[in-house]
Amino acid sequence: MIDLMHSVADLIDERDREGLEVTLARVAFELAGARALTFWRVFRRSDGVWLRKRVTLPPTAAGCEPQEDDAPIGEAGSPLKLAFELKTLVRWRDRASRRNGCVLPVPSEAEPVALVDIELACELDRERIALLKGVLRIYRGHLAALDYGDIDELTRLANRRTFDDQFSRLALAEARRNGGKRFGDVWGARAHLGVADIDFFKQVNDRFGHPYGDEVLVLFADIMRSAFRDSDKLFRFGGEEFITLISNCDIEDALAAFERFRAAVAAYRFPQIGEVTVSIGVTSVHLHDTGSAAFGRADQALYVAKRRGRNRVLLFEALQESLALESIMAPTPEVEWF
């Protein structure tokens, strides 16, 4: 019981959502005396309910870090789909392999937000099942509390107050990856930050009204979620300004991701508004970087993108090498840039 209390305390202490998933999986794995466990996050697409594999225990060769394997929830009558639809524990048995287990849904007000698939070494008694369900409720309650303070109410993206913490985690991981040594140059970095600003957003509000402006922000956030990986960190920084933190890729792949996002926004037809475009400034994360410093660099690249006609992605380091940033010091008094 003491070990369980410590495990629950670890769960409540965790403030990073990815870390929370890993901690929950480990607690459930130990509590169930499981042979194996998979934590699936539930999400919806236009073609139905899908699952994203987030944690696998025991760890695979890739470790127990969050995964990104998407799959449909399954056929009618499958344990995962039944647990989702019935919102209750569903037992399963594979006669061929003599394996058995259960699927527990993570409860929420509407539909389950996650599923925990456990392969069991022995049958679970009622007390153990009750403990597992209690841990899942604690997880959901803690997640809701984090969302209340850390999630932008309109777009459901992370808000500005979470940015510094998430950036510090990313910068620390990048420093560890590089052994604490200076990068040969920033082109060797594997973490990157982009600042995106919706072009002429003030005109949207002035012409169509704030309710339509809010709808643009919500749809814009949906496009962001579709354009970037689940592991990428997305923030609404304020107003029409958004930030993306990308890790585990080189700068070429990061720029390609931002370009895909820019093109997706330009191709989308917003209700009543029509075409909306976005300008994006990008920078790589440097050794001993801070969130404010990286944001400042990306924001300078964004400013140049606005001055060059908007609807484009520009990299701070490339502009710096070409001395294009000198133009920032001499803005022209024409139309507003943002």
Compute the distance between CA of residue 278 and CA of residue 37 in angstroms, rounded to an integer.
42
Give catalytic status of residue 252 as yes or no.
no
Of 302, 193, 300, 310, nearest to 254 by C-alpha is 193
Choose the catalytic residue: 119, 240, 241, 317.
240
Torsion over CA: 315, 321, 324, 329 (sign): positive
Active-site residues, by number, are: 240
